[in-house]
């Protein structure tokens, strides 16, 4: 089918059509990637998304959405391209058009900054056609990630913090004032950056990005935990979340261990396990019966072993394909 129209994202008026299009793709792909209009709104309005230049739509002659591409461009000019094509027109060249658009946009950004760009796209290891497409466009596997899950119906060990450390949630009264909230976010961001600086694809997080996350109506401060060291530093953290609309649609009660980390200088003391168990307890307390998480298969701190030690098991493998531009 010949593509007649390609255009930029027009904002709120496009959200319903994009959400419906994603559901059509999900019905065929079965990747457990159901999204709602509010999910898309939150994703697209993030401060690091250039809605005019980094989201693109492809429509047929009747104005029906048949292709979608979105770039997440990081400061070092690394970009992740996520894209979907309507099942009825796959293999007709639209996929290549989307990839070419992404490459052209990344080359433009790289020229502006005077650097080389790294172009990446994630794929499930079972998506053989998508893998073949990426490889035909010059992409090669760069990194593997596991998605893991654990039933919360089974008994949970009690979290045990090292002597002198305290556990607090973001909903704690000590973080309730405006100044206290700002201090919490600044300390959390500092801990995050110090934790992940030695991990693959690290990019420094800014306070404004975390402010946007906590402004999400679905954000639960009672599901964000920090371990505070005797000197007052945030030594470890666990941010959990769940998606009410998706859970209702699917008839499930699943929550995510979204971000878990132990700051350098505080590792090998059991903090990671304590924070993980605290997050799992928190998810169970708000009615979830399953916890999920994603982990780098080559995580330098041995996170996969930690997750397995408390009962998580692998359910999917995702691959990041990439190439230099």
- 3-class secondary structure, 131: helix
Mean pLDDT score across all residues of the chain: 95
Homologous superfamily of 149-319 = Gcn5-related N-acetyltransferase (GNAT) (3.40.630.30)
Q: How many residues does the chain have?
A: 325
Residue 47 has what DSSP assignment? T
Confidence of residue 3 (pLDDT cuts 50, 70, 90): low
The closest alpha carbon to 306, from 276, 263, 283, belongs to 276
**CA angle (205, 318, 47) in 5-degree steps:** 25
Kindly report the CATH class assigned to 5-138: alpha beta
Rounded to whole angstroms, what are the CA distances from 317 to 121, 184, 307?
Answer: 14, 34, 15
Cα angle 148-152-153, degrees, rounded to a multiple of 5: 135
Strands (E), the chain: 5-8, 55-59, 65-73, 78-85, 118-124, 140-151, 166-169, 224-228, 234-242, 254-262, 290-296, 313-324
Domain with CATH 3.40.630.30 in the chain: 5-138, 149-319
Find the mean pLDDT for residues 198-216. Answer: 93
The DSSP output letter for 186 is H
Q: For the segment 90-118, what is each residue's pLDDT rounded down to a tens digit? A: 999 999 999 999 999 999 988 888 888 89
pLDDT tens for each residue of 252-265: 999 999 999 999 99
pLDDT of residue 76: 72
């Amino acid at each position: 089918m010949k593509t007649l129209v390609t255009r930029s994202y027009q904002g709120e008026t496009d959200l319903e059509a994009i959400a419906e299009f994603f559901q059509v793709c999900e019905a065929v792909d079965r990747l457990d990637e159901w999204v709602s209009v509010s999910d898309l709104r939150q994703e697209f309005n993030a401060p690091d998304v250039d809605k005019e230049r980094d989201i693109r739509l492809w429509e047929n002659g009747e104005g029906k959405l048949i292709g979608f591409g979105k770039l997440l461009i990081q400061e070092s000019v690394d970009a992740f391209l996520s894209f979907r094509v309507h099942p009825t027109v796959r293999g007709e060249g639209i996929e290549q058009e989307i990839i070419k658009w992404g490459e052209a946009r990344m080359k433009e950004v790289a020229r502006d900054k005077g650097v080389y760009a790294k172009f990446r796209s994630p794929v499930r290891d079972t998506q053989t056609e998508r893998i073949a497409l990426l490889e035909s466009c010059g992409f090669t596997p760069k990194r593997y990630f596991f998605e893991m899950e654990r039933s919360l119906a089974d008994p949970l060990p009690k979290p045990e913090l090292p002597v002198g450390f305290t556990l607090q949630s973001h909903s704690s009264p000590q973080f309730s004032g405006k100044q206290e909230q700002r201090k919490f976010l600044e300390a959390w961001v500092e801990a995050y950056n110090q934790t992940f600086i030695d991990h693959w694809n690290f990019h420094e997080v800014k306070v404004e990005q975390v402010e946007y996350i906590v402004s999400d109506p679905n954000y639960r401060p009672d599901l964000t935990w920090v371990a505070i060291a005797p000197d007052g530093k945030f030594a470890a953290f666990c941010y959990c979340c769940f998606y009410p609309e998706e859970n209702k649609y699917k008839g499930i009660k699943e929550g995510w261990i979204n971000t878990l980390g132990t700051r350098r200088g505080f590792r090998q003391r059991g903090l990671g396990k304590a924070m993980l168990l605290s997050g799992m307890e928190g998810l169970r307390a708000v009615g979830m019966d399953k916890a999920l998480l994603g982990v780098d298969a080559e995580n330098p701190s041995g996170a996969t072993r930690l997750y397995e030690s408390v009962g998580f098991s692998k359910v999917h493998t995702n691959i990041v394909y990439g190439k230099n531009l």
